[in-house]
Structure 1
Amino acid sequence: MSDSLEPISITDVEGFSFGHWTNREAATGCTVIVAPHGAAAGVDVRGGAPASRETDLLRPENTVEQVHAVCLSGGSAFGLEAASGVARELESRGIGLDVGPTRVPIVCSSCLFDLAFGDAFVRPDVEAGAAATRLALDGNATGLAEGTVGAGTGATIGKLLGMDRAMKGGLGARAFSLGALKVGAISAVNACGNVVDPITLEPVAGARVSADGTQIVDLEEGMLDAGAGLTMPLDRTNTTISCIVTNARLTKAQATKVAQMAADAYAHVIRPTHTTNDGDTIYVLASGGDDAPACPLDLLGLVATRALEAALVAGCREAEGICGLPAARDL
């Protein structure tokens, strides 16, 4: 195994296909990660009010062993409807758990809150999920678009001081190889806090000093200065949702552990993170079979953390400003 990480496209991770559905006018969308041949899966849910589907199936004591897709979506709880479209499209292609008369695709889903940003009454629906799935399976993409696309279309960050001083978040997708091991991460960054570069610790995007300003406030120091007078607006309207993909072979319990380890990326990049206003979820999908590259679990967790850090930063750096909010590239 090589001793250094090499950047690769997330589409180079075997066993997975990816697709977006985007509505920029309404500032919402969804992103689908399909495992046509199934993948072992785990999840780490740290949010206080997550909007999710089929996460209980990923508990190690439950009997379903393979997941066929993860749908990351805007629309808050309404966006869970998109996962039904993913399931219908997969069933039409014979992808899913064989139950006799048909195949039942196992589709996990998590949603972020974007209703207060664009059009609150346009959400990813059944057809949106099906369209993203068709693109994933038929698009023959050599890369995956990042920024203001898919689940990141309505993502915003730095909202602790109010939406008028926030900035545009987005969707990032980054991956690395370590010898034969491949690990990628997709993240829709819709955090209450700021996003910083984990290497330089410089701010990438976040709460601005004023609504027309370009300087980013240090939110953690601001919270300390506020002390007992601190208020937390925009309750339950923030969620960063992510999916790790790897060609390693994992059990459900191991995949869950990798998801827990990868959550460190949130703490490294988002300041503050895991607040009472954030509903954070990370999935892990592992496509590897008997010939999968061998890798110590702790090493895999480290690579997953690095990939997710890069995806979180990319989601903000690649975003374009819409609906009156600037993005990092605009400043």
Structure 2
Amino acid sequence: MPGPLNLLTDIEGVAVGHATDLALGSGVTTVVFDKPAIASGMVLGGAPGGRETSLLDPSMTVETVDAFVLSGGSAFGLDAAGGVQSGLREIGRGFAVGDVRVPIVPQAILMDLLNGGDKNWGLHSPYRDMGYEAFKAATGGAFRLGTVGAGTGATTATVKGGLGSASALTSSGHVVAALVATNALGSATVGDGPHFWAAPYEVDNEFGGLGLPHPTDTRLRIKGVRITATTIGVVVTDAVLTKAQAHRLSLAAHDGLARAIMPVHLPFDGDTVFSAATAKKEVKEARDLMEIFHLAALVTSRAVARGVFEATALPVANAQPSWRDRFGSSVSK
């Protein structure tokens, strides 16, 4: 079952903030931890863009992060982490180096430069300021999904992409949750219809309750072989994990991407998942740990579908239609 909000913020000590520019057709989402969190991650797409991703390797010295950033803007969007760092430095957060504190803020970006938004921003990109705006907006409560934050300019092979989130509770009371900006080269939906690949894992009709079609259509559907795309996300648990276990958590979440998007992890995708453990609740049994990894995949799949289901088309000429534009009538009011 999901947590009370069915969002990443069902995990105590986690806040999420967005900056959204519909005219730009892009945005930034940040995940801020109230205390440094054990963190790792994994890149499985062939065309990634990121910042501070190397330190997430389990063999690297720094074990914790202060925040994660997901952003549009392709490589220009990497400026966003600087804005989040500014906000963290402003409140005295960061890794201690002598009498200096350096906020640790890994970031992943997605390619949304060709979605019709106005990218003529002048000399400097707007993403540093958007990162700071997202940090200041971060809240531990409910937050919007769909065409917002890092999901603002996202697209897929069939319908508008977006930002989604989902949570779940283990039988021992741990919380596992994911936040995903789906900007896939492939598709989150089956064939040319409204059904989601993630349908078997849906909870409480959170993305329409349509189930799967019979038979399913597995023919290749992609945006185009020269269009770089990326699905980026974060999976978090309140369990006490080592950095190596957090790394395994990100791998489990990639299983969730593979169940919700077809195809995924292509040479022109940059698919990246960050992972973190807030260490609020001990893991007493091996089975509890296995269930955390299992649910990490499921909440990631559900977050993909929720983001696409909640998305709306950009207010620009020839914008890609949303799932609701094409299939909204298939969901009972």
Matches within 5 A, 1:44-193: 44-117=42-115, 118-122=117-121, 124-136=126-138, 140=139, 142-158=141-157, 166-178=158-170, 179-193=172-186
Is the 8 Å Cα contact of residues 154 and 182 (structure 2) preserved in structure 1? yes
Give the 4+ runs in structure 1 shifted more than 4 A: none
Q: 2:255 aligns with which of 257, 264, 269?
A: 264
Cα distance in 2 between the residues matched to 1:108 and 1:89: 15
**Contact in 1 for aligned 2:41/2:273 (Cα 8 Å):** yes
Question: Is residue 309 of structure 1 aligned with residue 305 of structure 2?
Answer: no
Q: Does 1:282 pair with 2:278?
A: no
Q: CA, structure 1 residues 330+175, in 2 after alignment: closer, same or farther (shift >3 Å)?
A: same
Give distance in 2, aligned partners of 1:222 and 1:103.
48
Count of equivalent residues = 296
TM-score (norm 1): 0.84
Match of 1:244 among 235, 248, 256: 235
Measure, in 2, the Cα distance between the counterparts of 1:12 and 1:124. 30
Q: What is the deviation of 1:220? A: 4.1
1:187 is paired with a residue whose SS is: strand
Tell me, in whole angstroms, the C-alpha distance in 1 between the residues paired with 2:235 and 2:200. 24
Deviation, structure 1 residue 285 = 1.0
The answer to whether the 8 A contact 2:2-2:168 is kept is yes
* Distance apart, 1:20 and its partner CA: 0.2
CA distance in 2, matches of 1:107, 1:201: 31
Per-residue CA distance 1:118-141 (angstroms, 9 max, x = gap): 2233455211111111111xxx45
CA distance in 2, matches of 1:281, 1:43: 7
Distance between the aligned counterparts of 1:147 and 1:25, measured in 2?
16
Q: What RMSD, in angstroms, separates the aligned Cα atoms of the two structures?
A: 2.2
Is the Cα contact below 8 Å between 1:69 and 1:106 reproduced in 2? yes
TM-score normalised by length of structure 2: 0.83
CA distance in 1, matches of 2:227, 2:65: 28
Match of 1:208 in 2: none
In the alignment, residue 68 of structure 1 is paired with which amino acid?
A: D
Which deviates more, 29-38 or 92-101? 92-101
Select between 292-301 and 21-30 the one with higher mean Cα deviation. Answer: 292-301
Mapped contact 2:177–2:299 kept (Cα < 8 A)? yes
- State the Cα deviation string for residues 7-34 of structure 1 (Å, max 9, x = none): 4322220121110000011110000001
Shift of 1:292: 3.3
Distance 2:135 2:108 in 1: 16
Contact map agreement 1:40 1:285 (CA 8 A) in 2: yes
Residue type of the partner of 1:148? T
Q: CA deviation at 1:219?
A: 7.7
CA distance in 2 between counterparts of 1:41 and 1:18 reads: 17
